[in-house]
Amino acid sequence: MQLALRLVVLGVLLPCAVLAQPMVTISGQVTDRQGQPVSRCDVIFNPSSWIGDDSLYFKCDAEGRYLAEIPAGHYNSMYSLDLPEYGKTQLEFWGWNLQFVQDEVIDIAFDTIEVYSLSVWASNGGSQSIFAAFRPMHLASALEPKIFNQTIAGKEKAIFDITPELDARSIEGSIDGQPIELLSHHWVYERLNSCNNVPKTLNTENGCFMPMIVAQFVRPKLEEGKHLLRVRLTDLATGEIGEGITHFVSNQKGLGF
This prediction has a pTM of 0.89
Write down which residue in 79, 110, 141 finishes a domain.
110
CA distances from 240 to 41, 48, 120, 227, 252 (A): 18, 31, 24, 27, 38
Write down which residue in 91, 110, 129 finishes a domain.
110
Say what the pLDDT of residue 19 is.
Answer: 53
Confidence of residue 126 (pLDDT cuts 50, 70, 90): confident
Alpha carbons within 13 angstroms on the beta-carbon side of residue 248 total 24
Claim to verify: residue 209 and residue 185 sit in the same structural domain: yes
* Residue partners of 171: CB distance under 8 A and separation at least 6: 182, 185, 213, 215, 231, 232, 233
Claim to verify: residue 253 and residue 185 sit in the same structural domain: yes
Say what the pLDDT of residue 7 is.
Answer: 36
CATH of the domain at 180: 2.60.40
* Three-class DSSP labels, 29-50: EEECCCCCECCCCEEEEECCCC
As for how many domains the chain has, the answer is 2
Give the residue-averaged pLDDT of 169-191. 97
Give the residue-averaged pLDDT of 146-155. 95
Claim to verify: residue 127 and residue 207 sit in the same structural domain: yes
Residue 143 in 3-state DSSP?
helix
Domain that holds residue 149: 111-257
Confidence of residue 10 (pLDDT cuts 50, 70, 90): very low
Q: Is the pLDDT of residue 11 over 50?
A: no
